[in-house]
Amino acid sequence: MKKLPLLIYIGIPIIYLIVLIATSILMMAVSEQTSNLMIAIAILVVLLILVYAIYLMRRISNLCSGKSRWVAMIYLWFFSICLVISVAVLPFLTKAAIGWGHIINDPCIDASEVLNSNGSYNLPKMTKSIQGTLGSKNAIHPSRGDFISPILTFKYPECVSGTFFSHEDEPEKIVSTITHIQLSLDEEEMAYYRKNKGNEALVMGYFSKSYNANHTTHPFIFIVEDIGEVK
């Protein structure tokens, strides 16, 4: 009987803190790509917490009475609910932490347009390689209606920064964090895209500022010069 108040008022916070820390470490050890596994771990831990809380509630009902029983139950369920909510959101916080950690630790991709002395684009200096998963994005054109554009989805959000030129305005500096980007493909590249949609791909080309209704990702699109599998 004497051990029960000690278990409730001191043991529960310590046990729940250990569970939360252990679950957090386990989440960080799981790959970001296996988000379903992170969610499964969270569900399992939540169920274990609820089973343990119900077990303690029965012990409290049998060994305590009156006001002390209600105080103990409120204390028990307060910590249980807090822990359940914390564990339930852990997969999403972990995924966000991994993605934004990538942004913090990696410099922005330089998407700047480079001009030759005659005002033409210096494409060799503008050419970049980007990697991600081939997908599609639904959009609505004001005159043509619904259409689908090919996109490349990055594994992590990417910081993209660049200076862009136009004939009418001063050079414009744009910095944005993006999760995916529209691909501008020719016929041969489009054939590869259709065949490999849903797979990872390595794409070479250069960034361009998106400026019309055909462009579905803002503020950038990617003009593809070569596309192939990731090696």
Q: Which residues contact 106 (CB under 8 A, 6 or more apart)?
A: 159
Of 132, 134, 157, 137, give the one whose Cα is nearest residue 149.
Answer: 137
* pLDDT band per the 50, 70, 90 thresholds, residue 62: confident
**27: confidence class by pLDDT, cuts 50, 70, 90:** confident
DSSP state of 3: H
Distance CA 76, CA 192 (A): 58
What mean pLDDT comes out for the span 110-123?
91
Task: Report the topology of domain 109-228.
Answer: OB fold (Dihydrolipoamide Acetyltransferase, E2P) (2.40.50)
- The rounded percent of the chain whose pLDDT value lies above 70 is 87
Contacts of 138 (CB under 8 A, 6+ apart): 146, 147, 148
Query: Is the pLDDT assigned to residue 31 strictly greater than 60?
Result: no
pLDDT digits (tens, 9 = 90+) for 124-169: 999 999 999 999 999 888 888 899 999 999 987 888 888 998 766 6
Per-residue pLDDT at 136:
95
The predicted structure's pLDDT at residue 222? 97
Count CA within 13 A, CB hemisphere, residue 197: 13
Provide mean pLDDT across the span 47-66.
Answer: 82
Q: Give burial (CB, 10 Å; 0-12/13-18/19+) of 63.
A: middle
Asked if 49 and 116 touch (Cβ cutoff 8 Å), the reply is no
Residue-averaged pLDDT of the chain: 85
Q: Is the pTM of this model over 0.75?
A: no
Number of Cβ atoms within 10 Å of the Cβ of 149: 18
Lowest mean pLDDT across 1-10, 188-197, 205-214: 1-10
